[in-house]
Amino acid sequence: MFAWQVLQRSVCHRDGHWFLKLLQAETDRMDGWCRQMELDQRDNDLPEDILGKMRSAMGSAQLLMSQKFQQFRELCEENLNPNAHPRPVASDLAGFWDMLQLSIENISLKFDELHQLRANSWRPLDPPDRKERRLPPPVPKKPPKGPHHHPPLARDRSLESSEKQRQEARKRLMAAKRAASVRQNSATESADSIEIYIPEAQTRL
């Protein structure tokens, strides 16, 4: 037998009968949970918060079984009825069942918590890492403020910039001194080249 033939046969088996078996198994499981919770309520003096959890879980399970489960059961029966119109196909049943799985999982989590409470003698559950979760996250330290507290890189850049400024100022000062010296020498040479002119008539007097 080829693989595609095995796959085709397995898909064909997922008809109304197959889903009705799954539905009945889930119904029996939730019925058992609800009966156990009723016994626990009767045989134990439970605090109000735990009783509230029980009522919530049992109410959700009973509501799911009386409405959605019943609706799905009718769809499965219509799938098995060749005279039904419109007749839901296997893919319709699979889609509805996937949607039911979300509700079943949520209710299962509620009963799982109750089962853990029973195993803990109906005392509140205290996870070992609760104290760790309450610890606030460490606050990063802020760098101290002030002109003398720079990061190493910023401080190095600041020193380098100051050194460059001093070198440029020194160059400008030297250039100014050279210019002043040149002007002074030029003035001296001009003074030396000036000749005093005395008119001849005045010299005769």
Give yes or no for residue 10 having a pLDDT over 70: no
Residue 94 lies in a domain: yes
The tens digit of pLDDT for each residue in 153-163 reads 555 555 566 67
Domain count, the chain: 1
Tell me the pLDDT tens digit for each residue of 62-119.
999 999 999 999 999 999 999 988 899 999 999 999 999 999 999 999 999 999 999 9
Q: How far is CA 189 from the centre of its chain?
A: 84
143: pLDDT confidence band, cut at 50, 70 and 90?
low
Enter the tokens of residue 105.
């999982």
Task: Write down the H helix ranges in 81-192.
Answer: 90-119, 130-134, 152-192
38 occurs within a structural domain: yes
Residue 106 located in a structural domain: yes
Residue 92, in any domain of the structure: yes
Query: What CA–CA distance (Å, rounded) separates 78 from 96?
Result: 14
Residue 149 in any domain: the answer is no
- Phi, psi at 132, each rounded to 5°: -65, -35
Alpha carbons 42 and 28: distance in angstroms, whole number? 21
Burial track 83-118 (b if 16+ CB lie within 10 A, e otherwise): eeeeebebeebeebbeebeeebeebbebbeebeebe
Reply yes or no on whether the pLDDT at 34 is more than 70.
yes
Which structural domain, as residue segments, surrounds residue 34? 16-120
The tokens describing 25, both together, are 């198994």
Whole-number percent of the chain with pLDDT over 70: 60
Please report whether residue 144 resides in a domain.
no
Residue-level pLDDT at 174: 73
Residue 77 lies inside a defined structural domain of this protein: yes
